[in-house]
Structure 1
Amino acid sequence: MNRRPEHLTEREEEILRCIRRWIEDKGEGPSVRQLAHAVGMRCTASVVYHLANLERSGALIRDGRGWNTCRLGH
């Protein structure tokens, strides 16, 4: 079951959709720069902010230090 917390923003939902597609296509998550480009954001710090929120909510789980090692949570 792919339930998401109700408190995610539209941008966070967009980022999750992008990560899901990226993992399905390439077998691993995108880098922060790749993700920023894919969702139309210029500032990688903003992407990291949203990724951290997603990790805190349990929607993403990082297996290593980089965000491209993330997998989708609950």
Structure 2
Amino acid sequence: MSLTERQVRIVRSAREWVAEYGEAPSLRELAEAAGLSSPSSAHYQVMRMRERGVVVETRGRRSGRCPNCGH
């Protein structure tokens, strides 16, 4: 499985963020760190990577759902 250049930048930026701050970045922070135009661009790329089995953790609003089962 190969990632696009943009996706590689996102993964690298997320790892660097965690190393520096000790927590996952928000989508806004990830977009800025990876040089993307908007948080929605980061969200789109993160979702495409998750569909392919590449997990990029992000910090966001709490959904109130169980993080394990989704209920």
TM-score (norm 2): 0.71
- Which of 18, 34, 48 is the matching residue for 1:53? 48
Indicate the residue corresponding to 2:32 in structure 1.
37
Q: CA deviation at 1:42?
A: 2.2
Q: Tell me the distance in 1 between the aligned counterparts of 2:29 and 2:49.
A: 17
Residues paired across the two proteins, number: 60
Describe how 1:1-74 pairs up with structure 2 within 5 A.
5-6=1-2, 8-60=3-55, 67-68=58-59
Q: Tell me the distance in 2 between the aligned counterparts of 1:61 and 1:19.
A: 7
Task: Report the CA distance shift for 1:36/1:10 in structure 2 as closer, same or farther (over 3 A).
Answer: same
Question: Identity over the aligned pairs, expressed in percent?
Answer: 33
Deviation beyond 4 Å, 4+ runs, structure 1: none
The answer for unaligned runs of 5 or more in structure 2 is: 61-71
Q: CA deviation at 1:61?
A: 5.5
Name the SS for the 2:24 alignment partner: coil
The farther-off stretch of 8-17 and 25-34 is: 25-34
Q: Tell me the distance in 2 between the aligned counterparts of 1:9 and 1:42.
A: 16
Indicate the residue corresponding to 2:66 in structure 1.
none
CA RMSD of aligned residues (A): 1.8
Of structures 1 and 2, the one with the larger relative CO (CA 8 A, separation 6+) is 1
Name the SS for the 1:68 alignment partner: coil
TM-score (norm 1): 0.69
